[in-house]
Each structure stands twice: as structure tokens, then as C-alpha cells.
């Protein structure tokens, strides 16, 4: 096999391991990882017999055929995964459960809410709303006042912890459904359910959750664990990391750390911009909860700070301890154990606390110039043989499959 280049990859998360797998047959590839096991954000533990997704609750699917083909070359779909339909719901503050997406299930609203929602639809159809300039205007214009007030505003304010007028529209592209009034009315008359939408199903490992995916992706790679890379030195013909020479480096860590780590390439022009990049963290809480049929439960209630229950116990029987249902419950940013337990007393399905994990970087916030700014950094570093890849290296709202797709695109360029 021709060994084209010696490539260092920083980070054994999904991005780093995916590109390492794509490059390893034609290059000499070494992956450096600061933790003692692979996975980054998709790592899972076992706690009291329950599978604990330390961040969120990861399921897999993709819109990209090349990613799907690549993925199923590494995994046995039938033997190792289950395929499930999404079955999400919104738990309203009055205790009512409304199927997701909420705008298609007016028949499950209270009478009063249904009437005001019908009024909204009529006025939205009559007055085409003006082009929105921020997230709040988008939600009000697209879904009407009632759903904005009862669901979209309180739910999104819990996640983003800011006024929705401060969330720029550039953040939306490709992330949110954009139904027209006609579609909302049609879906309501027709009782169109979530599982009838394209990409409303997902794959989930029968055992081990997303840690199973990470462990498999790590197979056959030269990964140096417990290697926190705090210095990468640019040399005449490449890079030196831990005293070892490499032709190229692919950085899959957090771009905020880059100016500190890189020596020999002047990144000072980007430092202020990098410092202003914003992100949220997530506190993920593992709980035993009451049995229910849902995959995700969204919670707009202002009575507590949690925004979502991910019913991981419904994704695979092996996730539960002796059949007892478990789930992860998400809070934006850091919240103490005491506050978690206090909040859980007001969350539906009687959650019982088992464990929690706080990850400081989970949701990158894309301001209007973020993408352009990151691409100027990339142009500067790529000309020196240093490439950025991954959710926080590129400050992109990547899911696992999109991270794999980005790895595909970069490996093709390399
Ligand atoms: C709450 C939540 C729920 C999600 N749910 C889903 C889902 O259901 N489905 C889905 O497809 N995606 C989901 N995602 C997205 C998914 O987690 C990411 O797409 C994916 O984990 C990104 O992987 P990454 O490799 O880019 O980053 P990371 O996972 O952050 O990996 C970076 C790795 O680099 C290492 N590292 C960093 N700096 C250094 C250094 N200097 N030296 C050595 N090592 C370093 C880190 O330790 C880490 O292992 C979710 C994300 C969140 C936050």
C-alpha cells in the first residue's frame, strides 16, 4: 500500500475517527486523544445497569447516501442495530401530551388553544407575513402567536437562554422544519403523523448505544489515548507533535484552543474573533422514569429548567436495568446536583435521579458572520497543512452523520 502522507489527527470523536478510517489505507495515520477512550461527545457509561449517554442520547440516520453506504460497510444493520420510528411528543404545562410536530396536532390542543390557533392560521393565510429578520419573527410568522407563546418561545428560551430576537436566522438553515400554512392545515385535516415524514426513523445499536459506534470506529486505528495535545509546532515541511514529524494535521478539537496550541503559524489576527465565538453546554441527567411510548419528549413548561427527555430506555431493551425504564433529561449549561433534583420533582414521568454529566461545549452558536469567519481561519491554516474538522473545530451544528459527511469531503480534498 502506498503511504502518501503521515497525518496526525487530534481527537478520537466521531469526526476524527471517521476521517482516520477514510485515510488510513493510503496514509500513515496517528490519532491523539486526551481521554482514555474513544467517542468524544457520544461516550456512554453503565450506571446501575442502565446505559447512560453522557451527552444527550445519540441515534443515527442520514440524508447522505455516501455516508449511509460507508456506515453500513462497518456495521451489520440487521444484527447490530434496530430501526425505529420517531415518536416524539410535547408535554404541555397543563399536563396534556400533544404529538410532535405540535403544529400538526391541533385536535389534541385544549379547546381554547385550538380556537386561537385556528384564528392564527386564518390571519397567517390572509396576511403573508413579512420576511423575518430573527428567530422570534420566524417562529411567529411561520407558526402563529398561539404556538409561539405556548410552545416555541418557552421551549427555545430554555435551550438558548436568550431572547429569541437575538438568535440570527443564519442559524436556521437546514435545522428546522419550514411548513407553509397550507401544509399545516393539510397535515391537520389529514392527521399526518411524524413517522410519515422523510427521515423520521433512526437506527440505534442493540447493545452499548453510541459507545458501540465509537468503539467500532476506533478499530484498526493507531489511537494514542491520554494524549492531551497542547503544542503543535509548524516546521519547514510539516508539523511536529510530541516530537514526532507529520506532513499534515487534522484538528478535531475546539477551535478556541487553537491559538494556544499552534506554534509557528501566526493566528493572532483571529484570536479576538475566536474569543467571541459563543456556545452552550449541556447537563445530561440519567434517570429512571415511568414507562411511556415516546422517543423524545419536549417540555416548554416554565415550572422547571429541563427542556427535553430522551427516552433512551425505549431505544434498546439492553439500555434498561431489568426492564426498568430509563431516560436522559437535558438542561442547558451547568446546573448543580441539588438544583437538578429540585427541578426533577416538577418534570413529568416521575424521574428518579441516578447520575449526571456536564459537558461545557455542546451547542455552538452561529452568529451571522460565524461561517465566513471560520472559513477565513481554514484558508489560513490549510495553506500550512493544518485542517479543521468537527463540531467545535468548525463551529457547526453537526450531527454524527454530518460530521462523517464532512470527513468524507475533507478526505476527498486531501
Ligand atoms: C445533546 C446532544 C445530542 C446529540 N444527539 C445526536 C443524535 O441523536 N444523533 C447524531 O447523529 N448526533 C447527535 N449529536 C451530535 C454529535 O454529538 C456530534 O455530531 C459528534 O459527537 C461530533 O463529534 P466530533 O468528533 O466533531 O466532536 P467531539 O465528540 O467533541 O470529539 C472531539 C474529540 O477531540 C478530543 N480532543 C479535543 N481537543 C484535544 C486535544 N487538544 N488533544 C487531544 N484530544 C483532544 C476530545 O477529547 C474529543 O474526544 C448530539 C449532540 C448533542 C450535544
CATH number at residue 235: 3.50.50.60
Which is it for strands 244-246 and 6-10: parallel, antiparallel or unpaired?
unpaired
Kindly state whether residue 27 falls inside one of the protein's structural domains.
yes
Q: Is 410 in the pocket of ligand 1 (CB under 6 A)?
A: no
Q: Which atom of ligand 1 lies nearest, measured to the CA of 38?
A: 49
Neighbours of 129 (CB within 10 A): 14
Q: Atom 17 in ligand 1: which residue has the minimum CA distance?
A: 41
Number of domains in the chain: 2
Residues 6+ apart with CB under 8 A from 375: none
Same domain, yes or no: 106 and 186: yes
Q: How far apart are CA 196 and CA 38, in angstroms?
A: 35
* pLDDT at position 329: 98
Q: Which domain holds residue 141?
A: 102-190
Q: Is 35 in the pocket of ligand 1 (CB under 6 A)?
A: yes
Same domain, yes or no: 245 and 375: yes
Same domain, yes or no: 255 and 386: yes
DSSP letter for each residue of 71-88: HHHHS-HHHHEEEEE---
Kindly state whether residue 322 falls inside one of the protein's structural domains.
no
Same domain, yes or no: 172 and 217: no
Centroid of chain to Cα 247? 31
Same domain, yes or no: 241 and 385: yes
Same domain, yes or no: 223 and 178: no
Backbone angles phi, psi at 265, to 5 degrees: -130, 125
Kindly state whether residue 289 falls inside one of the protein's structural domains.
no
Same domain, yes or no: 162 and 218: no
Residues 6+ apart with CB under 8 A from 241: 8, 32, 229, 231, 232, 233, 249
Same domain, yes or no: 270 and 376: yes
- The distance between the two most distant Cα atoms of the chain, rounded to a whole number of Å, is 72
- Cell numbers placing 242: 510530541
Kindly state whether residue 154 falls inside one of the protein's structural domains.
yes
CA of 303 to the centre of ligand 1 (A): 30
pLDDT values of the chain reduced to their tens digit, one per residue, 414 residues: 556 899 999 999 999 999 999 999 999 999 999 999 999 999 999 999 999 999 999 999 999 999 999 999 999 999 999 999 899 999 999 999 999 999 999 999 999 999 999 999 999 888 776 788 888 999 999 999 999 999 999 999 999 898 899 887 777 666 677 788 888 999 898 888 766 665 689 999 999 999 999 999 999 999 999 999 999 999 999 999 989 999 999 999 999 999 999 999 999 999 999 999 999 999 999 999 999 999 999 999 999 999 999 999 999 999 999 999 999 999 999 999 999 999 999 999 999 999 999 999 999 988 888 999 999 999 999 999 999 999 999 999 899 999 999 999 999 999
Which is it for strands 308-310 and 232-235: parallel, antiparallel or unpaired?
unpaired
Same domain, yes or no: 249 and 382: yes
* pLDDT at position 167: 82
Q: Is 58 in the pocket of ligand 1 (CB under 6 A)?
A: yes
Q: Is 41 in the pocket of ligand 1 (CB under 6 A)?
A: yes
Q: How far apart are CA 365 and CA 166, in angstroms?
A: 11
Of 363, 368, 373, 374, the closest CA to residue 41 belongs to 363
* pLDDT at position 196: 63
Same domain, yes or no: 138 and 216: no
Kindly state whether residue 245 falls inside one of the protein's structural domains.
yes
* pLDDT at position 368: 80
Residue 106 per-residue DSSP state: G
Same domain, yes or no: 264 and 371: yes
- Beta-bridge partner residues of 203: 60, 83
Kindly state whether residue 47 falls inside one of the protein's structural domains.
no
Kindly state whether residue 352 falls inside one of the protein's structural domains.
no
Same domain, yes or no: 389 and 274: yes
Instruction: From 163, 190, 217, give the residue that closes a domain.
Output: 190
Of 392, 150, 58, the closest CA to residue 252 belongs to 392
- What pTM did the predictor assign? 0.95
Q: How far apart are CA 132 and CA 407, in angstroms?
A: 33
Kindly state whether residue 389 falls inside one of the protein's structural domains.
yes
Q: Is 12 in the pocket of ligand 1 (CB under 6 A)?
A: yes
Amino acid at each position: 500500500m502506498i503511504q502518501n502522507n503521515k497525518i496526525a489527527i487530534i481527537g478520537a470523536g466521531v469526526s476524527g475517527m471517521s476521517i482516520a478510517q477514510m485515510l488510513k489505507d493510503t496514509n500513515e495515520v496517528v490519532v491523539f486523544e486526551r481521554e482514555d477512550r474513544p467517542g468524544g461527545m457520544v461516550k456512554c457509561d453503565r450506571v446501575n445497569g442502565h446505559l447512560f449517554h453522557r451527552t444527550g442520547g445519540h441515534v443515527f440516520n442520514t440524508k447522505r447516501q455516501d455516508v449511509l453506504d460507508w456506515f453500513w460497510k462497518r456495521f451489520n444493520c440487521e444484527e447490530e442495530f434496530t430501526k425505529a420510528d420517531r415518536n416524539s411528543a410535547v408535554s404541555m404545562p397543563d399536563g396534556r401530551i400533544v404529538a410532535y410536530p405540535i403544529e400538526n396536532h391541533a385536535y389534541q390542543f385544549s379547546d381554547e388553544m385550538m380556537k386561537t390557533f385556528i384564528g392564527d392560521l386564518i390571519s397567517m393565510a390572509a396576511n403573508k407575513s413579512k420576511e423575518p429578520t430573527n428567530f422570534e419573527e420566524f417562529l411567529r410568522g411561520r407558526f402563529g402567536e398561539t404556538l409561539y407563546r405556548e410552545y416555541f418561545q418557552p421551549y427555545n428560551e430554555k435551550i438558548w437562554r436568550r431572547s429569541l430576537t437575538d438568535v440570527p436566522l443564519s442559524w436556521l438553515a437546514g435545522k428546522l422544519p419550514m411548513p407553509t400554512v397550507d401544509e399545516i392545515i393539510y397535515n391537520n385535516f389529514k392527521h399526518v403523523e411524524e413517522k410519515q415524514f422523510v427521515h423520521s426513523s433512526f437506527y440505534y445499536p442493540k447493545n452499548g448505544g453510541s459507545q458501540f459506534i465509537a468503539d467500532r470506529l476506533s478499530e484498526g486505528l493507531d489511537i494514542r489515548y491520554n494524549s492531551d495535545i497542547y503544542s503543535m509546532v509548524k516546521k519547514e515541511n510539516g508539523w511536529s507533535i510530541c516530537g514526532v514529524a507529520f506532513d499534515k494535521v487534522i484538528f478535531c478539537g475546539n477551535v478556541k484552543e487553537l491559538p494556544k496550541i499552534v506554534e509557528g503559524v501566526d493566528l493572532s489576527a483571529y484570536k479576538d474573533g475566536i474569543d467571541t465565538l459563543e456556545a452552550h453546554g449541556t447537563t445530561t441527567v440519567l434517570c429512571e422514569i415511568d414507562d411511556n411510548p415516546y422517543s423524545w419528549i419536549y417540555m416548554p413548561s416554565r415550572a422547571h429548567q429541563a427542556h427535553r427527555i430522551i427516552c433512551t430506555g425505549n431505544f434498546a431493551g439492553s439500555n434498561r436495568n431489568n426492564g426498568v425504564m430509563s431516560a436522559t433529561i437535558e438542561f442547558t449549561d451547568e446546573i448543580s446536583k441539588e438544583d437538578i433534583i429540585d427541578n426533577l420533582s416538577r418534570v413529568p414521568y416521575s424521574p428518579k435521579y441516578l447520575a449526571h454529566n456536564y459537558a461545557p461545549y455542546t451547542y455552538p452558536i452561529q452568529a451571522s458572520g460565524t461561517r465566513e469567519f471560520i472559513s477565513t481561519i481554514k484558508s489560513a491554516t490549510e495553506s500550512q497543512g493544518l485542517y479543521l474538522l468537527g463540531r467545535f473545530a468548525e463551529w457547526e451544528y453537526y450531527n454524527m452523520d454530518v460530521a462523517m459527511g464532512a470527513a468524507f469531503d475533507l478526505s476527498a480534498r486531501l
